[in-house]
Amino acid sequence: MKILIKNGLVIDPANHVKENFDILIEAGKISKVAKNISAAADKVIDASAKVIIPGLVDMHAHLRQPGREDKETIASATAAALKGGITSLLAMPNTSPAIDSVQAIELLKTLVKKNSLANVLICGAITNGRLGKELSDIVGLAKGGAIAISDDGASVDDEKIFQQALKIAKTEKILTICHCEDKSLSNQGVVNLGIISTKLGLRGISSESEYKRIERDIRLAEKIGAVIHIAHVSCKESVEVIRQAKKRGVRVTCETAPHYFSFTQDSLVDYDTNKKMNPPLRSRQDQEAVKKGLKDGTIDVIASDHAPHTENEKDIEFDRAEFGVVGLETELSAGISELVENKILSLPQLVEKLALNPARILGIAKGAIAPGDDADIAIIDPAKEWLVQKENLVSKSKNSAFLGRRLKGVVEYTIYNGKIAYQA
């Protein structure tokens, strides 16, 4: 199939491109990026007044399959991803069973092959059952195709075990993604510790529980010379700890999620469980620090931390409700609405955080638009607004923090592997 995209503004930070071009796609690859391409094509897309960006790479998503197909499936998650302009996503291993063995990863690969509508990459577990007690078969997972390891949802408390994991990951040349939380400090908390936990009468999760563990993980990675990536950075101290580590040359990268720059703890006043996530929404100062970290490059990546949950798990008492929100479909729009509109990032910088940087960190050949590259592309209208409603989410779960919010930026087409995989 040949697709010719005419007259769009191509934003491709990898090649420092921000210019109107035509793009020709053939056999799953980008064959030409040039002015006024005239070629016979099966499909011609008029992209005038639209923006063409590389398909986004979301390096933090919970697909829930196998085990919790009532929340989400590989099919529904990848459909949601495509609607959000995402063509590659990293599946976190906290499924049932956890992706902690060769059998588990083989099962997941079979399911992905059968059901996936986009490029699903696999993150293996660091420890068996993500319990932090004994190392999983990291070598087997890496050989089986895992490109990263993480116990996401939990930190490996035991330093000795975590150091061993870092060493194996270093040898296997895969990334270690750190969920940084000292559970002895975040002890049963459900919202940020401070005035909001006091007002609402809920247990608080301190910033300390996050940044203290980031400090530890950075210290160990530095000692071992391993490469680590810090997941879901939410508070100002964390941003500063990572900023300083980067300055002294530690090989650390990090991500934040759209909810941390779009909301603060103040939006919890009515106990909205769709604002309950871990780490929690923090204070105004933390939100500002996250934005500053995005602007100055301390925060490399924006990832959704897409965490689908059923209504039964959310429409209950706040303490009992599950942590997490869906985010695949709102990630790009939230970035445009909060960061580009408010001049925190330019659109090319946003694309870097959503596509190029995660691709580089994961070591995959994605996130760019040049001849020879995989034809993973999103065509977007950054000025168009849409209202986030349960009815227009394609994810199986509707637990979005953005419900009822107007966001800017609509994905018109998502092209994956040279084919139109989504059309608005």
Partner 1 sequence: MVWQRKDLLGLEELSREEIELILSTAESFKEVSTRDIKKVPALRGKTVVNLFYEPSTRTRVSFEVAAKRLSADVINIATETSSVKKGETLIDTGKNIQALKADIIVMRHNYSGAAAMLAKHLEISVVNAGDGWHEHPTQALLDIFTLKEKMGKIAGINVSIVGDIAHSRVARSNIWGLTKLGAKVTVCAPEILIPPAIEEMGVVVTSDIQEALREADAVNVLRMQFERDSSNAFPQQIEYFKNFGLTCERLEKAKKNIIVMHPGPINRGIEMSSEIADGSKSVILEQVTNGIAVRMAVLFLVAQAKDRKDENIN
Catalytic residues: 305
Whichever of 69 and 271 has its CB closer to partner 1, that residue is 271
For CA atoms 41, 43, 47, 53, the dihedral sign is negative
In the numeric block, the tokens 């459900």 are attached to 190
389 close to 382: Cβ distance less than 8 angstroms: no
Amino acid symbol at 247: K
Q: How far is the CB of 193 from partner 1 (least distance, A)?
A: 6
Q: How far is CA 113 from CA 64, 247, 263, in A?
A: 16, 41, 36
Nearest approach, Cβ of residue 201 and partner 1 (Å):
3
- For the chain, helix (H) and strand (E) counts, in that order, are 14, 18
Name the residue nearer to partner 1 (CB basis): 201 or 372: 201
Residue with Cβ nearer partner 1 (19 or 319): 319
Q: How far is the CB of 318 from partner 1 (least distance, A)?
A: 4
Cβ at position 200, least distance to partner 1 in Å: 6
Is beta strand 228-230 parallel, antiparallel or unpaired with respect to 175-178? parallel
Quote the CA–CA distance of 207 and 291 in Å, as a whole number. 17
Angstrom distance (rounded) from CA 241 to CA 172: 27
Nearer to partner 1, 203 or 251 (CB): 203
- Residue in 95, 106, 102 with CA at minimum distance from that of residue 73: 95
Residue 241 C-beta: closest distance to partner 1, Å? 21
Looking up tokens 């991500």, which residue turns up?
Answer: 255
Minimum CB distance to partner 1 smaller for 92 or for 205? 205
Cβ closest to partner 1, residue 118 vs residue 401: 401
> Shortest Cβ distance from residue 309 to partner 1 (Å)?
15
Residue 212 to residue 182: CA distance in whole angstroms: 7
Alpha helices in 307-380, H assignment, sequence order: 311-314, 331-334, 347-351, 357-362
- Residue 6 amino acid letter: K
Separation between Cα atoms, residue 228 and residue 170, nearest integer Å: 10
Residues that bind partner 1 (CB under 8 A): 187, 193-195, 197-202, 204, 270-271, 312, 315-320
Whole-number Å distance between alpha carbons of 242 and 213 = 12
Give 85 or 279: the residue with its C-beta nearer to partner 1.
279
CB of 198 to partner 1, least distance (A): 4
Q: Which of 214, 247, 205 is nearest to 232 (CA)?
A: 214
